[in-house]
Amino acid sequence: MRKTYRVLGLLIALAVVVQASAIAFGTFGFINEIDRGAVFTPSSEPPNFGPMLHAINGTLIIPVLSLALLVVSFFAKVRRGVRLALFTFLAVVVQINLGFFSFDTPVIGLLHGANAFVVLGLALTAARAAAREAPAPAAPVVEEAIA
């Protein structure tokens, strides 16, 4: 379970990096096409797979991973594991909402971009917490963490 927790944390972090790469790919794709005279309307297909990847990864894969991290945290003996998983999940929920609000109010995109680092930081912290040696079973601190 500990290992699963750690792998899930790392996968979320990796998925966040993919998000940044995908949206940069998409944005430069649009700019490149526009510079060559293309006109985009709501009916145009995007210039590459970047925006689609960002959408699927962000609304499906990352939420599922962060939900899985939360469930696994209940069983994995990781110090502050539940708390970190819960914060990661909440940060993802906030992130998705910021993303959807940004279509109406683009300036919210500034927060969407910044909050990505919160998700990344929490996921990496969770993965690191699971990497530490399992504390001795008798250690009181473990009991505290469980309670």
- Which residue in 21, 44, 49, 132 binds other proteins (CB under 8 A)? 44
The token duo for 52 is 């689609």
Phi, psi of 79 (to 5 degrees): -60, 130
> Is residue 31 near other proteins by the rule CB under 8 A?
no
67 binds other proteins (CB under 8 A): yes
Residue recorded with tokens 């490149």: 32
Our finding on whether 137 is near other proteins (CB under 8 A) is: yes
Reference 46, options 28, 30, 69; nearest CA is 30
Q: Closer to other proteins at the Cβ: 36 or 133?
A: 36
Q: Is the CB of residue 1 less than 8 Å from the CB of residue 65?
A: no
Residue of 74, 80, 110, 114 that binds other proteins (CB under 8 A): 74
Q: Which of 90, 92, 80 is nearest to 130 (CA)?
A: 80
By CB under 8 A, is residue 24 in contact with other proteins? Answer: no
Binding mask 85-124 for other proteins (x = CB under 8 A): -----------x---xx-xx--------------------
Question: Does residue 71 bind other proteins (CB under 8 A)?
Answer: yes
109 Cβ neighbours under 8 A, 6+ residues apart = 98, 102
Which CA distances in Å does 100 have to 25, 90, 92? Answer: 20, 16, 12
**Least distance from other proteins to the Cβ atom of residue 43, Å:** 4
Contact residues toward other proteins (CB under 8 A) are: 33, 38-45, 47, 59-60, 67, 70-71, 74-75, 96, 100-101, 103-104, 137, 143, 146
